Chains A and B, each alone.
Chain A
Amino acid sequence: MRRRGPPKVGLWLLQRLGRGYHSESLIGDLIEQCTRGQTSWWAWREIMVAIFIVQAGRRQSSQWLQVTRAFWWCLTEVAVMLSVTLIADQSKNWHTIKDRFSPTVIVTLMVLFLIAFIGLRSLILIHRRERKRAAIHSLMALFVTMTLGLGTLTWAATANHAKGQLSPHEQSTIAGPPISRPPL
């Protein structure tokens, strides 16, 4: 006796075009129902509906996710780059510890870091929603941000020493009090 089953072409199409979260279970259900007497028309209808739902959902979801991902990515990038630029720019004028911790710089940096953090967090959530190796992506993003931040801070800290720029106070400390020479 010939064993009944769903159309093979239909299953092939479903595997190629209708691959979703529960597509394996759906294929199993189709096979089970066809062996229990459902017609191939019924199977074709189910296959077409499944492909339509997956394709429609994928298109809608990918467009929305692409826009939000681009927005958060731009925001994070701008915040990180502004932080780097601010630190680099300010490092030229930093002569004392007091200069480094001026309220304006600290508040601006905190706001920028907050924006970068929110952007990063949103990107991680989007990746999780897409179920695309969320942990790897978030770790990579964190690593890049930390490397950029630490690299900039290290460069800023060593820049003054390399240039030999010292504050008037530091210069006077090293050189000692000015020596008054007697007139010749």
Chain B
Amino acid sequence: MRKREYLGQLELMVLLAAIQVHRNAYGVSIARAIEENSGRAVALASVYAALERLEDKGLITSVRGEPTAERGGKARTYFKPSPAGLNEAREAHATLMRLGSGLPGLKGQIA
């Protein structure tokens, strides 16, 4: 059985953003979703590096789209969370909620 690894903050954000963007999840849309939700810009290369790590862990799958002229003949790579990825995101979210709920300083700040 594969040893379970904890996700880094960026990996978790990328995974959640990929779930949120859903069908159109590629580098730019994932980076934009993170930026809109966190208020901080994130480099595309960092997003792709995190996506690669998530793929290695089997939490996300990728599929190549069609090359377009707008992209200089380069294809988009679309990312989709795997069932294991959805489960991991659910568990990580629940853990963070449980950890945060006991801290008086964070009361009312976590949705």
Which of A's residues lie within 8 Å of B, judged by CB? 5, 18, 20-22, 24-33, 35, 45-46, 49-50, 52-54, 57
Contact = CB atoms under 8 A, between A and B. Distances in A.
B57 to A, nearest CB: 13
A54 B26 CA distance: 19
Interface in B60-84: 62, 67, 70-72, 74-77
Given A27-B74, A28-B76, A31-B74, A46 B48 contact: no
Given A33-B28, A45-B43, A49-B43, A25 B72 contact: no
Contacts of A45: 43
B43 A25 contact: no
A47 B32 CA distance: 18
Contacts of B46: 49, 53
B94 interface: no
Contacts of B97: none
Instruction: Give the dominant DSSP class at B's interface.
Output: helix
A35 B68 CA distance: 13
A29 B75 contact: no
B48 A20 contact: yes
Contact of A29 (B49, B52, B71): B71
Interface in B1-41: 26-28
Instruction: Give the dominant DSSP class at A's interface.
Output: helix
Residue of B45, B49, B72, B75 most packed against chain A (CB within 10 A): B45
Nearest to A46: B44
7 contacts: A20-B49, A22-B51, A27-B74, A28-B67, A32-B70, A32-B71, A49-B43
A31 B70 CA distance: 7
Given A26-B48, A49-B43, A49-B46, A31 B28 contact: no
Contacts of B72: 5, 27-28, 31
Contact of B45 (A33, A35, A50): A50
A35 B49 CA distance: 24
A24 B28 contact: no
A22 B70 contact: no
B49 A57 contact: yes
